Every structure is written in C-alpha cells, then in structure tokens.
C-alpha cells in the first residue's frame, strides 16, 4: 500500500513551457486535492475533485488545469509556466465515509522551479 505518490519529485522549467504533475493513490479515495506550498504562506488549495470525472476550483486556480479521468489519478497541468508558479506542490486524498472523511493523506510533494 503506497498511499499517495507524486511524479516527478523535482522539475525545472523555463517560462512558457508546459508540464503535467501526476498524483496517484491506492486507497480508493473519492476526493483528491492539489495544493501549493510557498514560504510563509502554508498550503493553498489549487483544484480538487470529488470523484472520477469531476473537478472544481480551489483558492488559487489561475494558471492551472486538472483532470480526473481515473479514480486513482489526479493530474495537474501548467499550460504556460510562469516564475510565480515556482513552488512545492502537494497532492492529497481522503475517504468519503463519515468518520474517516476528515483526514487528508498527503503525497511527498513535487518541487517545481520555473526560470
């Protein structure tokens, strides 16, 4: 049981390049999330999904797109990277059942540097 995994672990992009971050979970969770972590600001929610085929905007969605084609995977896309998107990106998932649904399980993070 690997929990939540993220690919890649680290990436350097040039301004204007595109890339996709992959999050995978093997806990059969319905809900998945993408956060960014910046110094002094904690984590901020980018997008989330409440189930396969669904996505919704979070607190800071601009410049990002997401897709949830399979229940276990949640992809975060940057169409045209900007230096302001330099950050550490975390994926998380949680269960939908009452009593278990409040705890989010986080991946190890992807460190992205945009030059």
Taking the complex as a whole, the smallest distance from the CB of residue 45 to other proteins amounts, in Å, to 7
Q: Are 85 and 73 in contact (CB under 8 A)?
A: no
Q: Rounded to an integer, what distance in angstroms lies between the CA atom of residue 92 and that of residue 109? A: 10
Residue of 109, 78, 76, 94 whose CA lies nearest to 32: 94
Instruction: Show the site string, 1-20: x = touches other proteins by CB under 8 A, - = not.
Output: ---x----------------
Taking the complex as a whole, the smallest distance from the CB of residue 30 to other proteins amounts, in Å, to 11
Between residues 33 and 64, which has the closer beta carbon with respect to other proteins? 33
Q: Is 106 in the site for other proteins (CB under 8 A)?
A: yes
């Amino acid at each position: 049981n690997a929990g939540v995994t993220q690919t890649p672990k680290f990436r350097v992009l040039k301004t204007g390049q595109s890339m996709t971050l992959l999050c995978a979970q093997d806990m059969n969770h319905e809900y998945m999330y993408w956060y960014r972590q910046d110094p002094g600001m904690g984590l901020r929610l980018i997008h989330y999904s409440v189930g396969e085929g669904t996505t919704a905007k979070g607190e800071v969605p601009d410049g990002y797109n997401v897709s949830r084609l399979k229940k276990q995977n949640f992809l975060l896309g940057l169409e045209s990277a900007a230096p302001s998107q330099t950050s550490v990106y975390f994926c998380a998932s949680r269960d939908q059942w009452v009593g278990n649904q409040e705890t989010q399980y986080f991946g190890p993070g992807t460190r992205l540097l945009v030059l």
